[in-house]
Amino acid sequence: MKGDPDWQGHNSHAYSVTTAELRQFIERVERLNQEKADIAEQAKEVFAEAKGRGYSIPTIKKVIAIRKKDRDQVAEEDAVLAMYREALGC
């Protein structure tokens, strides 16, 4: 503690380095969150443009979701959907 010659209190160099590092992590995440918000706004503008040109936004979003998946996964989902539709007569 205070009687210990190595004790530097709460304002030690290690504490300030940790504080600076923590601040850097927080600021990096804040910048990334702002970039994410900017990108989301840009995507929203693209969807608005596509809608203005007559495209179906829900369909575009479905196509984007499908393109993220593996071909085998899409094929399996399509087969199950077809089976369910056939079972229900729709």
Q: What is the DSSP letter of 89?
A: T
SS3 content of the chain, % helix, strand, coil (to 5): 80, 0, 20
Domain enclosing residue 36, as ranges: 8-53
Q: Note whether 85 and 62 are same-domain residues.
A: yes
User: What is the rounded average pLDDT for all residues in the chain?
Assistant: 90
Q: Note whether 45 and 72 are same-domain residues.
A: no
CB contact at 8 A, 50 and 60: yes
What global pTM score does this model have? 0.67
In a domain, 71, yes or no: yes
Residues 32-67: pLDDT tens digits? 999 999 999 999 999 999 999 999 999 999 999 999
If one compares 17 and 43, the residue with the highest pLDDT of the two is 43
In a domain, 3, yes or no: no
Please count the structural domains in the chain: 2
Q: Note whether 34 and 64 are same-domain residues.
A: no
In a domain, 1, yes or no: no
Which pLDDT score, from 0 to 100, does residue 16 have? 73
